[in-house]
Amino acid sequence: MSAGTVKLKIDNIEVNVPEGTMILEAARANGVVIPTLCDVEGLTAYGGCRMCMVEIHGSPKLFASCVTPVSTGMEIVTQSDKLKEYRKMALQFILSERSHICSVCVANNSCELQKLANELGVDHVQFEREWTSFPVDSTHDFLVLDRNRCILCTRCVRVCDEIEGVHTLDLKLRGKDEQVIVDLDDQWGESTSCTSCRKCAKVCPVGAIYVEGEALSETKDKNVAKFVLSRRNR
């Protein structure tokens, strides 16, 4: 093993990765799929959706793999009954906080939240749902912000800041009341910083930001990480 590398096990498979690598990165590099909604390769890790939790041998806790660095001798479990139930519960919390109704959503059949719910077998929510009624901002020439669909993954905020470099989008408030805002909580059509680049619409995993009149299957890149990395390397 070369200097600066770490040896560990992921699902009983021995792997060597560079020191400082996050568990999620190490898993991806070795063909292990860990579900996530907020993480996109090429953007700063956020750790908000809690879907990428893993088990580490010797600890009773679960760890967010996108923000937990590897260490020598670490033994990681990415798939177990405990993790499946945790992820299903976390997904139900996300679904309960906003008005997620697939049949009337612009992202129907092009939605990462919907896809993950299908994969995990989440076909109902056991918690009381918040039927939000936030105003939809369609004041931009073609971009629409529907906060009722938002899962607060901050992909749009991070791509706007880190890739486009304008930081038009940000967050206000906290908890379930947290919302994406434009500039100083202005209408999108009044923004003086937005470059209309569409990157926010391309990385949004749900139907919270979209291009009006355009199918999400056209707006979204099939490989979001590849799209982000290609823009970062310019």
Q: What is residue 15's three-state secondary structure?
A: strand
Closest CA to 203 of 154, 167, 141, 161: 154
Nearest-CA neighbor of 7 among 75, 77, 66?
Answer: 75
Q: Is the pLDDT of residue 189 over 90?
A: yes
First to last CA, the chain: 33
Residues 22, 69 contacting (CB under 8 angstroms): yes
Backbone angles phi, psi at 162, to 5 degrees: -85, -30
Beta strand ranges found along 98-233 (DSSP E): 143-145, 169-172, 179-182, 209-211
pTM score = 0.93
- In whole angstroms, how large is the CA radius of gyration of the chain? 19
Residue 228, Cβ density class (10 Å: 0-12 exposed, 13-18 middle, ≥19 buried) = buried
Kind and range of the H or E run holding 120: helix 112-120
- Grouping H, G, I as helix, E, B as strand and the rest as coil, residue 181 is strand
List, for residues 93-116, the tens digit of each pLDDT value. Answer: 999 999 999 999 999 999 999 999
* 128-181: pLDDT as tens digits: 999 999 999 999 999 999 999 999 999 999 999 999 999 999 999 998 899 999
Q: What's the rounded Cα separation, in Å, for the pair 134 and 200?
A: 19
pLDDT digits (tens, 9 = 90+) for 193-205: 999 999 999 999 9
Instruction: Identify the pLDDT of residue 54.
Output: 98
Q: Which domains does the chain have, with CATH numbers?
A: 5-79 (3.10.20.740), 87-232 (3.30.70.20)
| Calpha distance 154→158 (Å, rounded) | 6
SS3 at position 7: strand
DSSP 8-state secondary structure symbol assigned to residue 162 = I
pLDDT at 176: 84
